[in-house]
Structure 1
Amino acid sequence: MTEQQTSTTRPVALITGASRGIGKAIAAELGRDHHILVGGTNPETVDAVVQTLPSAEPFLVDLTDLDAIAPALQAVALSRLDVVVHSAGLAWMNPVAETSPAQFQEMFTVNVFAVAELTRAALPLLREANGQVLSINSGAGFTAGPGSSMYSGTKFALRALTDALREEERGQVKVTSIHPGRVDTDMQVALQQSMGNESYDGGIYISPQAIAEAARTVVDMEDASMVESISIRPVQK
């Protein structure tokens, strides 16, 4: 809806990376009682998710193009915005000695800089609604190991961004950082293959639905309370 203002009696949630994995699961969960802006870059996959939800519309933007983010949000012409979920992200492993500046730049752009820019653009509406920001971080936001300099670096930075935003907006906008361990998604399959793990058993990892249920708990928290951070881990190592 780019020609007229989006109007709905439902609270509105914008979810990046909502065409797959964790973002898609959160869209389905919050979509039960929210109007969902389904974030993504591929119109076909985004529209496929939109069609499954009771009240939804696309939010198409390439998060590597920071200059396009604010205009994309403005084009939706929202009358309200209650929740922003930053779920889009890049993940791959590479030793520092084999990683180019362009690879660092790409991952930091999507995982950190785009989060900051979309949040900045959304804050006026979020403040009006006493809304919420949920950042889907990672266990890698706490620790780093061989090959994880890029990914952990972005998640450490995202944690710092989220922590600072929480204090800057305290009393106006609730800010939560969700730190899942390994989640059974297409991204996890690719990550395990890149590390040479050919046999994949998704059953030992966290389900996307579990993360969506955590997001629901955060969103439904009473007005006087805020979940600042959640760490979710698989039972098996």
Structure 2
Amino acid sequence: MSKTILVTGAGRGLGRTLAERLSARGDRVIAHARSESALERVPHAQALVADLAEPESLAAACAEAGIERLDAVIHNAGIAHVAPVTEQSLEWWQRTLAVNVTAPAELTRLLLPALRAARGHVVFVNSGAGLSAGAKWSSYAASKHAVKALADALRAEERPNGVRVTSVFPSHFDTDMQRSVREQYGSDYDVARATSVDSVAKTIVDLLGVPADMVVNELRIEPPNPLPIQARN
């Protein structure tokens, strides 16, 4: 049976691959991006255009979209700025927390009536940084730790309403963000030692199809032999 699924950050990377996989299997995809142009050639039935750096804009965007029933939302969009605490500006902290934490929280709040109507599924694409933080990861890791807390609280609150909540913690997979992070860090990158974006997308799509009598609360994903993120000598 076809499902209605919203994917944030659908314009590229994992979000785009998710939109392609879900559409290919017959689902009705609501694709989020900051602009209509970002969704060109991305298969979708409906667009949700909003800048997650401005969470206050989401209420109007959701009202215009008129989503009454939603089988799943996949919170995929996110940003990362890699730098020591001494170089993490106030602007970067505010932007990172807005995009990675406040926007997913606000979007979930707005979509809960539609999710409850479908006894739907909320998937937060987190990160290994959401479990432990290292040097130069302060703002990003803090945001991802916060998203884990958001997911845990939401799971406890929405269990009686039949809404399932899953946190996925992928690490070292082949995306533009991973390449950008390694460039910021001055670290080497080897695609052969990273999980493919298609593998991560398949795993998330499969999570949406687990039997109704179970929920996967958390799932950690990493390649068999990841290349550590460390500055070149």
Give me the TM-score of the superposition, normalised by structure 2.
0.92
Code of the residue aligned with 2:181 in structure 1: it is L
Residues 124-160 of structure 1 show CA distances to partners (whole Å, capped at 9, x for unaligned) of 0100100010000000011100000011100100000
Q: Which moved more, 1:154-163 or 1:19-28?
A: 19-28
Give the one of 167, 178, 181 matched to 1:177.
Answer: 167
* SS of residue in 2 equivalent to 1:170: helix
* SS of residue in 2 equivalent to 1:37: strand
- Show structure 1 runs of 5+ residues with no match: 1-8
Instruction: Indicate yes or no: 2:214 matched with 1:221.
Output: no
Structure 1 residues 1-237: aligned runs within 5 Å: 10-31=2-23, 32-49=25-42, 53=43, 56-171=45-160, 172-197=162-187, 199-237=188-226
Residues 68-104 of structure 1 show CA distances to partners (whole Å, capped at 9, x for unaligned) of 1121111111242111000000012111111112211
Contact 1:184 1:208 in 2 (8 A): yes
Residues 186-221 of structure 1 show CA distances to partners (whole Å, capped at 9, x for unaligned) of 111111111113x53222111111111111221001
> Residue 182 of structure 1: CA displacement?
1.3
* Cα distance in structure 1, aligned partners of 2:156 and 2:71: 18
The list of structure 1 runs, each at least 4 consecutive aligned residues, that deviate by more than 3 angstroms after superposition, is: none
Contact 1:11 1:80 in 2 (8 A): no
* SS of residue in 1 equivalent to 2:172: coil
* SS of residue in 1 equivalent to 2:6: strand
* SS of residue in 2 equivalent to 1:48: coil
* SS of residue in 2 equivalent to 1:169: helix
* Cα distance in structure 2, aligned partners of 1:180 and 1:90: 15
Contact 1:184 1:203 in 2 (8 A): no
Code of the residue aligned with 1:186 in structure 2: it is D
How many residues were matched structurally? 224
**RMSD, aligned CA:** 1.3
Percent of aligned positions that are identical: 37
Contact 1:47 1:58 in 2 (8 A): no
Contact 2:19 2:31 in 1 (8 A): yes
- Show structure 2 runs of 5+ residues with no match: 227-233
* Cα distance in structure 2, aligned partners of 1:80 and 1:73: 12
* Cα distance in structure 1, aligned partners of 2:196 and 2:123: 18
* Cα distance in structure 2, aligned partners of 1:66 and 1:191: 24
Residues 147-187 of structure 1 show CA distances to partners (whole Å, capped at 9, x for unaligned) of 00011100100000001100100132000000000111111
